[in-house]
Chain A
């Protein structure tokens, strides 16, 4: 079964950091571009970041650029998001998601994890 399982969320003070992880199983992880998408409480979806299947290409929303770093370890089938300088507006459920297409990607994501909640508050 194709599966994504996020972890690493929690309560953090403004200015703090968290490392989110996403463990993939049931598919050839190294073939697919991956993304992080977040959803603030009661709000819509917001694209955060994406990474190519090899890890060579990384892309960020302006709202997180310079504060978040996406990475992947294809040997461990794991996607990461290192967050820093967290703000109240970063409070959201963070979803890990797989691109529907291998390699070049389609920027549509067809497999989603259940999400991990990040709460930034003092």
Chain B
């Protein structure tokens, strides 16, 4: 199972919005609404930000939103803040009854 494709890095200024893409195939992202997004700060444990494409766990800011079109899922962060600077990973359930992660995207807040 190949990893989902994410951009290696994205950047934005405080207050701006950014979007991170996550491209899979018709065997994973395209077939299931089971895409999740995680935030990981250096040296910290990952944190679930979005699950089932669009759902936010309690406690996660509504500045974070998820969407999907075809084989590509996206995470949008609006009103960018300094503390949003972190690595972000997407994951998806697959037709093989496994889970595949993306390679990760480093978000830099300028």
How many contacting A-B pairs (Cβ < 8 A)?
64
Contact B104 A110 (CB under 8 A): no
Using CB atoms, name the residue of chain A closest to B6: A44
Indicate whether A108 sits within 8 Å of B34 (C-beta atoms), given known contacts A44-B103, A44-B104, A45-B89: yes
- How many chain-A residues does the 8 Å CB contact rule pick out? 22
Interface residues on B, range: 20 to 34
B interface, over-half SS = strand
- Give min CB distance, B90 to chain A, whole Å: 10
Find chain A residues with CB under 8 A from B89 CB.
Answer: 44-45
Find chain A residues with CB under 8 A from B48 CB.
Answer: 100, 108-110
Indicate whether A107 sits within 8 Å of B93 (C-beta atoms), given known contacts A47-B99, A62-B1, A112-B45: yes
Identify the B interface with A (CB < 8 A): 1, 3, 34, 36, 38, 40, 45-48, 50-52, 57, 87, 89, 91-93, 97-104
